[in-house]
Amino acid sequence: MSWSKIAAVGGWSTVFPLKSVGIEVFPTEDIEDVGKFIRHIARSKEYGIIFVEESLYDEIADVRAEFADSDLPAIILIPSVSGSEGLGTSIIRETLKRAAGRDIMAEE
């Protein structure tokens, strides 16, 4: 069985703690073009999961679209240390709405 690596891209204070559990961290302070960098590591086929800080959501729109139908890597949004912007939940809600035909996450 082969294992893929896990990467985390975002602000230093968000991704650095993930290093302690074996995730390769890439602080955005060290990356000039985040979208190009994420595309590069996604195409490398070394990473099965790429965690990306929510604040980078708009910057990586083209990358998300390119890999949306791919099994790997899974590009997953994570909140920053300052808190969630709710993007992850809204993406899950929209996906479930398309699959189920209605908003099954709605509070009644």
Number of domains present in the structure of the chain: 1
Average pLDDT value for residue range 44-68: 88
Query: Which stretch, 52-56, 77-81, 86-90, 94-98, has highest mean pLDDT?
Result: 52-56
pLDDT score at 57: 83
**Residue 47 belongs to domain spanning:** 5-100
Other CB atoms within a 10 A radius of the CB of residue 80 amount to 16
What is the secondary structure of 68-102 as a DSSP string?
Answer: TT-SSSEEEEE-BTTB--SHHHHHHHHHHHHHHSS
In a domain? residue 51: yes
Q: How far apart are CA 75 and CA 78, in angstroms?
A: 10
- Provide the CATH number for the domain around residue 52: 3.40.50.10580
The residue type of 102 is: R
In a domain? residue 108: no
pLDDT score at 101: 74
In a domain? residue 106: no
Residue 1 CB partners (closer than 8 Å, separation 6+): none
In a domain? residue 78: yes
Residues 37-50 have pLDDT tens digits of: 999 999 999 999 99
Question: pLDDT band for position 59 (50/70/90)?
Answer: confident
pLDDT score at 81: 75
In a domain? residue 107: no
In a domain? residue 105: no
Beta-bridge partners for 56: none
In a domain? residue 69: yes
